[in-house]
Amino acid sequence: MLDFRVIARAPGVLFPRQNQIGREMRQSLAVAVMLWAGASAAGANLIVNGSFEAPSVPVGGYTNVGGGSTAISGWLVVGVDSALTSGSFQQSGITFQAQQGSQWLDLAGVTSNSSASGVRQTVPTAVGRQYQISFYVGSATAAPFFAPATVDLTIGGGQRTGYFNPTGPANALNWKLFTVPFTATGNSTAIEFNNGSASSNYLSAIDNVSLTEVALSGDFDFDGDRDATDIDLLFAATPGAVPPANALYDLNSDGIVNTTPGASSSDADVWVHTLRSTEYGDANLDSKVNFDDLLALAQHYGQPGGWASGNFNGQAGIDFDDLLVVAQHYGFGTPGMNPDTFASDWTLAQSTVPEPTSAAVLSLLLAASTTRRGR
C-alpha cells in the first residue's frame, strides 16, 4: 500500500527537519520541567512542623502548652493542654525517644489528661483530589501512669476516629505508623489530633505527621486528572526496561515501559483502554470516536500536534496512520451510529479546513478501512 506519509511530508506541509529537531528538544525540556514540578508538588508534605521540632524544649524535659496557643509552630493547641516533649525525657524507667528528630508531642498534656486536648492545623487542598495523612502513635507501659496509647484523628470536621498502638514496652516508646487516605471536599482541610487514651493513661504520643497528595495513576503531570497531556507525556517517555526507563510510565507494572499502541503489554493500551475506558481515535476523550474527533484531526492534518489534535500513536505529526485509527474505531461508544458514514463525514470535515487534505487520502482510507474492526 502507498505510504501516505510521503505525501504528508511535501514542502510547506511539515516543518523542515532542523526545525522539527529544535521543536522536539524544546518539547522534551518542557516535559522534564513539568514532571519535576508535578512530582515535587504531589510528594510535598503539606503539614508544617510535623515532627514537632519547633519551638525547642529543654533537653530531657518538656514544655506544656495551653489551649488556644499557637506556640507550637504551625499548630493550634485545642482543649486544655498538650506537652511538647524532648526525646531524651525519662520517667518511670522509660526513655521517651522521638520517632523523628529530637522532639514529639504528648496530646494528653500535663495538667488535665482531657480527651478534648490536642492540636489542629489547616492545610491547603483541592476539591476532589486524593490525599493521605500518616503519623506515628507512641506507646509505653509503666503502671499506674502509662499504658498503650490512642491518638484520635478528625479530618475536615468529620468523624473522630481512634488509632491505637497496643505495643507498649516498659523501657521505651514503641512507635506505630498509621496512614489514612481521604478525598478533599474543600480548598482547605482541618487536620485535628486529640488525646484518645483512657483518662487514667497520661500518654497520647504523636510524631512524624505528614500529609501528601496521592498521585493518580496515569496522571503524569500531577494535575488531578487524566487528559490528553498525560497520554502525550506517555508517548514521549523513554521506552525500555525500568530502570533506566521511568517507572512512572510502567502502568502494568511489568518492569518495562512500552508506549506502542497495540503492542504486547502496551502501557499506552492500559492508559487508553483501562484508565480512560476509551479507544484510540477519541481526540477529546469523551469515550466516543465520532465526527468531533474526525474534525479535530482534519483541522490539524499534516501538522505537528498531540492527542487532542489527532495524534494517536505519538509519532511526529498527524498523518494518514492517525486517520486510519479513527476510521477503524469510528462509532465507538455511540450505539446505533453507522460507521459506514465515515467517508461522507470525512468529506464534510475536510470542507471546514481552509486547505483541504488531498483527495487521495479518501481513496486510500476507503481501501484500508474495509479491514477495520466492527464496533
> What region, left, alpha or beta, does residue 330 occupy, with left being phi > 0 and alpha being psi -120 to 50 degrees?
beta
Residues forming a β-bridge with 91 = 94
Yes or no: say if 288 and 295 are a contact pair by the CB < 8 Å rule.
Answer: no
Whole-number Å distance between alpha carbons of 215 and 43? 8
Q: Is the pLDDT of residue 113 over 50?
A: yes
Q: Is the pLDDT of residue 348 over 50?
A: yes
What angle do the packed helices 320-329 and 360-368 form, to 10 degrees? 50
Q: Is the pLDDT of residue 37 over 60?
A: no
Residue 358's H or E segment, with its range, is: none
Whole-number Å distance between alpha carbons of 171 and 158? 36
At residue 216, the pLDDT reads 82
Yes or no: say if 292 and 283 are a contact pair by the CB < 8 Å rule.
Answer: yes
The overall pTM is greater than 0.85: no
Q: Cβ neighbours of residue 173 under 8 Å, at least 6 residues apart?
A: 94, 95, 96, 97, 99, 104, 138, 139, 140, 205
At residue 74, the pLDDT reads 98
Reported as a single tens digit per residue, the pLDDT across 260-317 is 999 999 999 999 999 999 999 999 999 999 999 999 999 999 999 999 999 999 998 9
Q: Is the pLDDT of residue 39 over 90?
A: no
At residue 28, the pLDDT reads 47
Reported as a single tens digit per residue, the pLDDT across 161-180 is 999 999 999 999 999 999 99
Sign of CA dihedral 372, 289, 230, 6: positive
Yes or no: say if 290 and 344 are a contact pair by the CB < 8 Å rule.
Answer: no
Whole-number Å distance between alpha carbons of 188 and 157? 11
Yes or no: say if 88 and 101 are a contact pair by the CB < 8 Å rule.
Answer: no
What average pLDDT does the chain have?
85
Reported as a single tens digit per residue, the pLDDT across 229-264 is 999 999 999 999 998 989 889 999 899 999 999 999
Yes or no: say if 160 and 126 are a contact pair by the CB < 8 Å rule.
Answer: no
pLDDT tier at 42 (50, 70, 90 boundaries)? Answer: low
At residue 12, the pLDDT reads 34
Give which of 345, 354, 293 is closest to 318, Cα–Cα: 293
Higher pLDDT, 2 or 65: 65
At residue 365, the pLDDT reads 52
Reported as a single tens digit per residue, the pLDDT across 54-85 is 999 999 999 999 999 999 999 999 999 999 99
Residue 346: Cβ-neighbour burial (10 angstroms; 0-12, 13-18, 19+): buried
At residue 183, the pLDDT reads 85
Q: Cβ neighbours of residue 78 under 8 Å, at least 6 residues apart?
A: 67, 68, 116, 117, 118, 119, 120, 192, 194
Whether cis (ω within 30° of 0) applies to the bond prior to 239 is: no
Q: Which phi and psi angles does 309 have, rounded to 5°?
A: -95, -5
